[in-house]
Amino acid sequence: MKLLVLTNLFPTPWDPLRGMFNRQQFERLGRRHELHVLTAVDFRDRLRKRRGSVEVPGLRTDHFVFVYPPRFGRALHAACWLLSLLLQRGWRLRTAGYDGILASWAYPDAVAAGWLARLLGIPYVVKVHGSDLNVQATHALRRPQIAASLRGAAAVVAVSRALAGKAVALGADPARVHAIYNGVDAARFAPGDKADARKRLGLDIAADPLLLYVGNLKESKGCLDLLEAFATMAASCPQAQLVYVGEGTCRAALAARAQTLGLAARVHLAGAMPHAALPDWFRAADLLCLPSHNEGVPNVVLEAMACGTPVVATRVGGIPEVVPAHAGRLVELGDRAALADALAQAAAQAWDHAAIAEHARGFSWDSNIDQLDAIMRQAARNEAVAEVLR
């Protein structure tokens, strides 16, 4: 088939590390179909300097600039998204002859993609990830737009059962909602020697424990909660260290707070890292910590477990579905004292790292692509039958 992917979650020259889970999935789907990935780039990002290039084997990738009124009118963003797309790529879209659209992210992407699909007379499938339903769909003027896009989709793909339930609650037909967990590249993410990994990364060999956070440095990911919990734990663990891998708006706040707490020498802001570099960070760590405020199923959790690293995280979204008791500890959202206790207890626990890695191997990209492929084929087949009947 010839498929169009519309999303904001994919690497661009202005953000080469964005949406790596989508890159992995679409690259594999592109081995089975002709896949064109068209990524929305926020106009503010487009004004910044390019930070790299994007070349994905087997995919045709391109971008368009998403222009919208900043700071107000969020309910109009889907209309702005579609207008931006049509003005910049409209002729190509009308003449390409696509068999279907896969829209990855509910708002504004999937809402606009649904309107485009109707203009082109082709089916569309919506893939939802987490805060696109957990947060965006809580707003009064966005919720009905998201609900309509889910109802009109040939299928809805959710990255967790919890998120699939949210889609059904918004009105999506339960028979057309599918929970498909993302996969892990088992050839890349696998257990390895902790000391060797620390040496390669230039980390303190004696850190005990070494806690790791991987992700965007923003408040909703719980990075500030983690620092406060670490401060409590660090008082009784003089060798403990915390490393943040990632960039974001909270970087300066984290650095300042660590200084205030007297932990500047024990809290390290390593910056963003290429996806290929992450396995050593997971192997070097004693724990991965991700106290997010909302989630679908974060791939860093799956990838850490694939390296045999236990996880301490919040009990939100699909995280409880993928982190069993033998692979980590879960705490309630917003309870920093419980988070500090969980970190201390997990650091002292003897974990079966081989069993953790074996559990993570159950999250396979091959299985993920088999399921997504079948869904896209069924959507196109149903549209072909409907066309004959018309």
Q: Residues 22-53: pLDDT tens digits?
A: 999 999 999 999 999 999 999 999 998 898 88
Return the pLDDT at 84: 97
Return the pLDDT at 72: 79
Return the pLDDT at 151: 97
Which tokens belong to 336? 């920093």
Full-model pTM: 0.92
What residues are paired with 7 via a beta bridge? 39, 104
Reported confidence tier of residue 390, pLDDT bands at 50, 70, 90: low
Average confidence score pLDDT of the chain = 94
User: Residue holding tokens 């339930």?
Assistant: 165
| pLDDT of 185 strictly over 90 | yes
Backbone angles phi, psi at 294, to 5 degrees: -155, 150
Residue in 99, 172, 154 with CA at minimum distance from that of residue 379: 154
Domains parsed from the chain with CATH numbers: 2-183+365-389 (3.40.50.2000), 194-360 (3.40.50.2000)
Average pLDDT value for residue range 203-225: 95
| pLDDT of 389 strictly over 50 | no
| pLDDT of 71 strictly over 80 | no
Return the pLDDT at 387: 58
Q: Of 233-237, 252-256, 306-310, 359-363, where does mean pLDDT reach its minimum? A: 233-237
Check whether the bond before 298 is cis (ω within 30° of 0).
Answer: no
- Contact at 8 Å (CB) between 121 and 24? no
For the chain, give the percent of residues with pLDDT over 90.
91
Return the pLDDT at 280: 97
Return the pLDDT at 52: 81
Residue in 138, 266, 279 with CA at minimum distance from that of residue 210: 266
Reported confidence tier of residue 126, pLDDT bands at 50, 70, 90: very high
Q: HSE-up of 130 (CA within 13 Å, CB side)?
A: 17
CA 216/CA 222 separation, integer angstroms: 10
